[in-house]
Amino acid sequence: MLSTSEILDRDLLHYIVALPIAVFSPLAITAGVETWTTILKQRTDAEVTIFGEITAGWLDTVRRNKGLFSTSMK
């Protein structure tokens, strides 16, 4: 059983994923990916939550026409 200090803080995980995607600069995305990878190595139980947040962030970039989905790159 997980101790209180080991329980995932879903709000914190949300911001750890959402902030680099919101900033959407190469440095922010690189830092985000490194952070997400480190968390996943340490806490395999966070996998579903983190990948869910990454998916939501990716879908948001589609909605906001950022990066690969930018209309200015056509």
pTM: 0.80
How sure is the predictor about 8, in pLDDT bands with cuts at 50, 70 and 90? confident
Q: What is the dihedral of CA 22, 28, 32, 34, to 10 degrees?
A: 170
- pLDDT above 80 (res 43): yes
Over residues 10-41, the pLDDT tens digits come to 899 999 999 999 999 999 999 999 999 999 99
pLDDT of residue 53: 96
- pLDDT above 90 (res 71): no
- Alpha carbon separation from 10 to 7, 19, 37, 73, 74 (Å, rounded): 9, 14, 16, 35, 37
